[in-house]
Amino acid sequence: MNVQSALDLSHMEHDYEAAPETVALARQILRSIYLVTEGRYRAPCRLSNIPGVTTAAVVYAVRNHWLELKGNSSVCLTDEGSRLAIKQAN
């Protein structure tokens, strides 16, 4: 997945409503990133390391301030994204 395309889409209107499957995938991406990075604060993670990633799920997570885009192919969890990943794990 091209992070630049997600970045371009993330600046669109914020009244975007995602399908339930997209929301569920966005939350799964958070958990996966948390595991891949071993919970390290703002650790970058390449999207290619996360199976099943879609542009829609990444855009949804960025718009909800759960993910921050890093360069052309990486993301990191925001503080809110980390809290949500931990909450989902418990």
Confidence category of residue 80, pLDDT binned at 50, 70, 90: very high
Sequence-distant contacts of 17-26: CB under 8 A, at least 24 apart: 18/56, 18/57, 18/60, 19/56, 22/54, 22/56, 22/57, 22/60, 23/60, 25/52, 25/53, 25/54, 25/56, 25/57, 26/57, 26/58, 26/60, 26/61, 26/64, 26/66
Task: Show the domain range for 31.
Answer: 3-89
Tally of domains in the chain? 1
Residue that wins the pLDDT comparison between 49 and 16: 49
Share of the chain above pLDDT 90, in %: 72
pLDDT at 24 over 90: yes
The whole-angstrom distance between residue 12's C-alpha and the CA centroid of its chain comes to 17
Tell me what the mean pLDDT of segment 31-38 comes to: 95
What's this model's pTM, rounded to 2 decimal places?
A: 0.81
Q: Could you tell me the CATH number of the domain that includes residue 30?
A: 1.10.10
Confidence category of residue 6, pLDDT binned at 50, 70, 90: low
